[in-house]
Structure 1
Amino acid sequence: MKRYQINRVLGILLLVISSFSCSSDLNFDQVNDLKLKPVVVANLSYFDVPANAFVENGIEYNMAFDALDFDLFRDKYFRSYLQRADLSFEVSNTINRSFQMGIVLMDENAQPIYTIPFDIPTYSGNAVVVKKTDVFQGLKLDLLKSAKKMGFVIAMNPGPVLSENSLGNLKLRSSATVYLTIE
């Protein structure tokens, strides 16, 4: 019985203490001053091309092209909040040839509007890694927003002949870091 009385007294005491709280006038106008600045990182594209993909029926092809949809900015709210975008690329070469590569941003008519060029050195025992980050702000950001496709042009420079048994790969990894301001 004694325990019941102690719990009852503590419960009443707790209820009395919690009813005396401090409060102040709330200022909901502070919401108008709210500014969010999220940063979002996302994967863009990836490919892994083996050396023998440049050879078909014993004939070496010096050029490769592929395009994919790139309508990342179709949402009008996302477009209006976007302040900056950093496109980062990492190309790894383990093929005994050097390459010229271009990442081409194209408009809705598949016309090039911006190109990011790469010089990829020849593999010489250690994997060659080329990293590049392209920052899009201001007018350059407007070009990026208008891009609807991203193309990859790979041109093989002169060097040792490749065969269907050639070893090595050309790999690309890329990501986008976007900076938004929401007011």
Structure 2
Amino acid sequence: MKVNFIKSISKILLLSFLFISCSSDLDFDQTKDLKLEPVFVANLAYFNVPATQFANSGGGQVAFDVQEFDAFKEKFFRDNLVKAELDFEIENTIIRAFTVDVLLLGTNDQVLETDSYPIPAYSGTTNIIKYPTEVFENQRLDLLKKTVKIAFFVRMAPGPVLDQNSTGSLKLRSGATVYMEIE
């Protein structure tokens, strides 16, 4: 019986220590100074076009694609975005040079901005080009926020004839990093 009494006293003492704690006054006014600065990274666009789709003896525009860009439909995102960075990387394994034009389009397909990326012809060595980051801040960011579509034009430069037996491809990879400030 003595052992049970000691166990009971030990349990009561242990539980009483668990309920004793230190506390201080909480200052909820600190939340007024809260500022969140999340950063998001996402894929923007990707394509891989084989040389056979460029079968053409001349130069000029050979490919065109338009994609909906509804990132700025949400008011919360538009209001809290402070900076955006777009990165483009293009790999060419075709024996022709190209230029890729990226067009930011507003309502009624109005061209807001055009960025051009020249791509040299493949010469047997690695031909991956990482272009400088396109930074959108201040007025340029306001322009980006008006974008509702992104168009890609691929123009082929004059050079050797491409046919259904031509090898290689043209690959574009792009990503976006967006910086937000939420107060």
TM over 0.5: yes
Q: Which amino acid aligns with 1:160?
A: P
The alpha-carbon deviation at position 9 of structure 1 amounts to 2.8
Q: Which residue of 1 aligns with 2:40?
A: 40
Q: Which runs of 5+ in 2 are unaligned?
A: none
Q: Which residue of 1 aligns with 2:134?
A: 134
- In 1: Cα distance, 2:3 partner to 2:43 partner: 62
| 8 Å Cα contact 1:100/1:119 also seen in 2 | yes
Q: Which residue of 2 aligns with 1:174?
A: 174
Provide the secondary structure at the position in 2 that maps to 1:53.
helix
Structure 2 residue 106 is matched with structure 1 residue 107: yes
The alpha-carbon deviation at position 62 of structure 1 amounts to 3.4
The number of residues matched between the two structures is 181
- How is 1:9-24 mapped onto 2 (pairs within 5 angstroms)? 9-24=9-24
Q: Which residue of 1 aligns with 2:97?
A: 98
Q: Which residue of 2 aligns with 1:117?
A: 116
| 8 Å Cα contact 1:54/1:60 also seen in 2 | no
| 8 Å Cα contact 1:60/1:162 also seen in 2 | no
- In 1: Cα distance, 2:73 partner to 2:85 partner: 18
Q: TM-score under structure 2 normalisation?
A: 0.92
- In 2: Cα distance, 1:144 partner to 1:7 partner: 71
* Percent identity over paired residues: 50
Structure 2 residue 60 is matched with structure 1 residue 62: yes
1:98-131 CA distance string (max 9 Å, x none): 1111111000111110112101011011231111
- In 2: Cα distance, 1:159 partner to 1:124 partner: 13
The alpha-carbon deviation at position 80 of structure 1 amounts to 0.7
- In 2: Cα distance, 1:156 partner to 1:123 partner: 13
Q: TM-score under structure 1 normalisation?
A: 0.92
| 8 Å Cα contact 2:60/2:156 also seen in 1 | yes
Q: Which amino acid aligns with 1:103?
A: V
| 8 Å Cα contact 2:59/2:157 also seen in 1 | no
- In 1: Cα distance, 2:3 partner to 2:102 partner: 77
1:15-40 CA distance string (max 9 Å, x none): 21122211111110111111111100
| 8 Å Cα contact 2:59/2:158 also seen in 1 | no
Provide the secondary structure at the position in 2 that maps to 1:66.
strand
Q: Which runs of 5+ in 1 are unaligned?
A: none
- In 1: Cα distance, 2:118 partner to 2:6 partner: 81
Provide the secondary structure at the position in 2 that maps to 1:40.
strand
Provide the secondary structure at the position in 1 that maps to 2:31.
helix
Provide the secondary structure at the position in 1 that maps to 2:108.
coil
Between 4-13 and 110-119, report the one with greater CA deviation. Answer: 4-13
